[in-house]
């Protein structure tokens, strides 16, 4: 509330109140178009070069199951029948490809930008629109959206269920609840975190009500009347179950969707059993180790989401201080989701998706508070932002220079002192602005200067998650075991087939002693058979084996090795390796190789060999 003083014609001061609507409460013109723009941005980032990278083993296994369904067989399905059946429909219509294998997660990740719209009454319109654009470019969610059979389908469907439930649109809520139940263990991981958060919130609300009753003696005379009124009608949360119409509106679309999508219109009925098996599969996974260390999970938050950590921390402090119900609900959800990822041994980077949702929601809510800058202090704020940006850019180049500076040397020590001196200069600049102008100017300029500069890390992570840097510049969010030379191996097999038969895919391939669904997927257009050893009596034209010696093949075959699974050495990386990856995205890698053996008579010079 501001007070404006206007002079009347008789020079008497008349005081009129002017109400300024906070930015987070303001209504937005063309709100629907903004969400559409966010969706198009998300879709573009998720589909650009979507099929450029070969599928990993984790991606290829469910993709092969979808392909086998299209070919008329009934394979044993994994615990993600929603992805498998939807992808099978795409394969049936458009054919199988890397792009089509990843299209369902890409569409699900793009649709995630509409989730804030369903909660705009709680989040408020402006933060909701801001959150939609954040979801569009968020590197972690983007990486999940570009991985076949990732957790993004479960995240999107479960949040849509919650959103439509929040708006009492029970039909769509039942539909998306069924898809979430068909989306595998990631749904149960999300439900577990949400359920624990709900229990904590109920405890906090109950404690708050008791404290209010104890501090307000006048409340006692109305307590019995209030209790009678509450018990005389069903609670709002239980209204759907108490009302037969609402109950039918939820359960009918749920079971129809669960049965039809889970069985692919009864063409693949074992999808229903696979969906039910996802519940014990999730809890059994607690006893298995995935190979992803907790430090890798925590490092990804610091590297990819530094602005979110900054603003979410401020939002939590503000929310608990002011008693914001939304902040008090989101902050334990974020913490519980993080604890589940860190302490459960079968952790995956995809599980962090459940952390990113409340993290960025808190950040978007807090960002709005720092967008309300008075006109008279905009120049000072902009100047401080520019100064901090330039200092941090200098510090970044100084840090990157350590990659070419031997440690320990005087030059390395100088660079380290310059780096920490730059950070001290930022703190000193903020303090001087607070003393010379105002604490508000220093606070706004400092926060925006640091967050906008750190936001460049998020943008860089977005480009990397989209694969625009290439497969040789790994990201923490990528799946392990990337087929580094997968495309080259397939091109070689196709060329050999064309030279000998005139058809790129006519030659049969035997995969001997190599357990790799990604290899089967890459060679799916060839007649492929998988065996433990090579049957030399059949003399197959093409054979793929491991890197171990094969003297029986060396006599009548020619071989070429290819780097197959490539995994960055995240767990064994030294400080210099991490520094080089942070600044240049270069990391030592390990993995295994395979050998493609081709029968001698397939080559053009075979007759010339005596």
Last residue of a domain, one of 465, 495, 516: 465
Domain assignment of residue 316, yes or no: no
Per-residue pLDDT at 218 exceeds 80: no
Last residue of a domain, one of 225, 258, 283: 283
Tokens of 254: 């749920």
DSSP structural state of residue 470: -
Contact 278, 188 (CB under 8 A): yes
Rounded CA separation 399/393 (Å) = 10
120 in the same domain as 174: yes
Q: Which of 50-64, 240-254, 321-335 has the lowest mean pLDDT?
A: 240-254
503 in the same domain as 449: no
Domain assignment of residue 152, yes or no: yes
560 in the same domain as 509: yes
Number of independent structural domains in the chain: 3
pLDDT in tens, 273-287: 999 999 998 988 888
Band (pLDDT 50/70/90 cuts) for residue 356 is very high
148 in the same domain as 31: yes
502 in the same domain as 451: no
Render 190-226 in DSSP notation, one character per residue: HHHHHHHHHHHHHHHHHHHHHHHHHH-GGGHHHHHHH
| pLDDT for res 425 | 94
pLDDT in tens, 403-428: 888 878 888 889 899 999 999 999 99
Band (pLDDT 50/70/90 cuts) for residue 235 is very low
Per-residue pLDDT at 21 exceeds 70: no
Rounded CA separation 392/454 (Å) = 9
pLDDT in tens, 294-322: 888 999 999 999 999 999 999 999 998 88
Distances (CA, A) of 419 to 199, 314, 400, 422: 46, 26, 10, 5
128 in the same domain as 36: yes
pLDDT in tens, 57-114: 999 999 999 999 999 888 999 999 999 999 999 999 999 999 999 999 999 999 999 9
Band (pLDDT 50/70/90 cuts) for residue 23 is low
491 in the same domain as 385: no
**Which one is predicted more confidently, 209 or 457?**
457
Mean pLDDT (the chain) is 86
275 in the same domain as 170: yes
Domain assignment of residue 505, yes or no: yes
pLDDT in tens, 113-148: 999 999 999 999 999 999 999 999 999 999 999 999
Band (pLDDT 50/70/90 cuts) for residue 544 is very high
Band (pLDDT 50/70/90 cuts) for residue 436 is confident
Last residue of a domain, one of 465, 495, 517: 465
254 in the same domain as 111: yes
Domain assignment of residue 172, yes or no: yes
Contact 388, 445 (CB under 8 A): yes
170 in the same domain as 35: yes
Distances (CA, A) of 358 to 316, 335, 364, 425, 506: 11, 9, 10, 33, 52
For residue 592, give its domain range. 482-608
Contacts of 449 (CB under 8 A, 6+ apart): 384, 385, 386, 387, 388, 389, 392, 426
What's the N-to-C CA distance of the chain in angstroms? 97
Instruction: Say what percent of the chain tops pLDDT 90.
Output: 54
Distances (CA, A) of 7 to 13, 17, 18, 19: 5, 14, 15, 19
Contact 90, 51 (CB under 8 A): no
Domain assignment of residue 328, yes or no: no
| pLDDT for res 215 | 64
The listed range with the strongest mean pLDDT (74-78, 355-359, 570-574) is 355-359
**Helix extents (H) in 48-124:** 57-70, 81-94, 98-111, 115-118, 120-123
Sheet (strand 482-483) strand order: 482-483, 557-568, 589-599, 542-546, 509-512, 528-531
| Section 469-474 average pLDDT | 88
486 in the same domain as 417: no
Rounded CA separation 333/360 (Å) = 12
Per-residue pLDDT at 223 exceeds 50: no
520 in the same domain as 455: no
Render 268-319 in DSSP notation, one character per residue: STHHHHHHHHHHHHHHHGGGS--S--HHHHHHHHHHH-HHHHHHHHHHHHHH
- Residue position matching structure tokens 């290829």: 60
The neighbouring-strand residues paired with 595 are 545, 561
Q: Which of 31-45, 326-340, 437-451, 540-554 has the lowest mean pLDDT?
A: 540-554
Distances (CA, A) of 160 to 116, 177, 217, 269, 473: 10, 8, 43, 26, 34
| pLDDT for res 474 | 92
- Residue position matching structure tokens 């059994």: 284
CA 168 to chain CA centroid, nearest Å: 28
Domain assignment of residue 362, yes or no: no
Domain assignment of residue 400, yes or no: yes
Band (pLDDT 50/70/90 cuts) for residue 25 is low
Domain assignment of residue 47, yes or no: yes
**Which one is predicted more confidently, 94 or 344?**
94
Per-residue pLDDT at 524 exceeds 50: yes
Tokens of 425: 């200069």
Render 342-395 in DSSP notation, one character per residue: HHSSS--GGGGHHHHHHHHHHHHHHHGGGS---GGGHHHHHHHHHHHHHHHHHH
């Amino acid at each position: 509330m501001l007070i404006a003083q206007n002079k009347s014609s008789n020079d008497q001061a008349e005081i009129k109140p002017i109400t300024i609507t906070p930015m987070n409460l303001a209504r937005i013109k063309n709100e629907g178009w903004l969400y559409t723009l966010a969706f198009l941005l998300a879709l573009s980032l998720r589909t650009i070069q979507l099929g450029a990278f070969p599928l990993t083993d984790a991606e290829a296994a469910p993709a092969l199951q979808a392909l086998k369904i299209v070919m008329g067989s009934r394979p044993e399905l994994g615990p993600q029948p929603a992805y498998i059946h939807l992808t099978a429909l795409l394969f049936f219509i458009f054919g199988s490809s890397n792009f089509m294998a990843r299209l369902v997660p890409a569409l699900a990740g793009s649709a995630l930008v509409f989730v804030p719209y369903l909660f705009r009454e709680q989040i408020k319109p402006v933060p909701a629109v801001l959150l939609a654009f954040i979801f569009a470019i968020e590197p972690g969610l983007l990486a999940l959206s570009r991985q076949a059979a990732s957790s993004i389908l479960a995240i999107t469907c479960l949040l849509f269920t919650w959103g439509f439930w929040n708006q009492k649109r029970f039909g769509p809520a039942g539909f998306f609840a069924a898809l979430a139940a068909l989306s595998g263990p990631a749904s149960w991981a999300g439900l577990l975190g949400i359920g624990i958060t709900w229990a904590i919130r109920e405890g906090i609300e109950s404690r708050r009500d008791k404290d209010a009753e104890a501090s307000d003696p006048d409340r006692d005379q109305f307590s019995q009347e209030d209790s009678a009124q509450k018990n005389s009608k069903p609670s709002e949360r239980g209204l759907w179950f108490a009302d037969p119409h609402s109950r039918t509106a939820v359960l009918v679309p749920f079971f129809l969707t669960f049965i039809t999508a889970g069985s692919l219109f009864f063409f693949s009925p074992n999808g229903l059993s696979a969906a039910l098996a996802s519940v014990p599969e999730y809890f059994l996974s607690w006893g298995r180790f995935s190979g992803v260390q907790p430090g890798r999970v925590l490092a990804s938050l610091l590297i990819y989401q530094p602005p979110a950590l900054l603003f979410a921390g401020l939002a939590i402090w503000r929310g608990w201080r002011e008693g914001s119900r939304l902040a008090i609900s989101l902050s334990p959800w974020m913490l519980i989701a993080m604890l589940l990822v860190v302490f459960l041994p079968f952790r995956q980077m995809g599980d962090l998706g459940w952390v990113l949702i409340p993290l960025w929601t808190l950040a978007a809510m807090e960002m709005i508070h720092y967008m309300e800058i008075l006109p008279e202090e905009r120049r000072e704020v902009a100047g401080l932002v520019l100064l901090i940006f330039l200092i941090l850019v200098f510090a970044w180049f100084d840090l990157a220079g350590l990659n070419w500076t031997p440690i320990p040397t005087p030059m390395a020590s100088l660079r380290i002192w310059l780096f920490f001196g730059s950070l001290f200069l930022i703190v000193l600049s903020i303090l001087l602005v607070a003393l010379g102008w105002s604490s508000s100017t220093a606070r706004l300029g400092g926060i925006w200067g640091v967050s906008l500069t750190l936001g460049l890390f998020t943008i860089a992570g977005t480009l990397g998650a989209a694969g625009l840097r290439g497969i040789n510049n790994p990201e923490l969010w990528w799946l392990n075991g990337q087929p580094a030379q997968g495309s080259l191996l397939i091109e070689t097999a196709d060329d050999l087939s064309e030279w000998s038969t005139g058809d790129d895919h006519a030659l049969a391939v035997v995969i001997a002693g190599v357990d790799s669904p990604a290899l089967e997927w890459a060679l799916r257009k060839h007649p492929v058979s998988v065996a433990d050893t090579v049957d030399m009596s059949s003399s197959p034209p093409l054979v793929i084996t491991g890197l171990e010696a094969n003297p029986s093949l060396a006599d009548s075959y020619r071989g070429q090795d290819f780097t197959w699974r490539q995994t960055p050495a995240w767990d064994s990386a030294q400080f210099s390796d991490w520094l080089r990856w942070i600044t240049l995205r270069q990391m030592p890698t390990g993995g295994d190789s395979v050998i493609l053996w081709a029968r001698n008579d397939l080559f053009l010079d075979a007759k010339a060999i005596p």
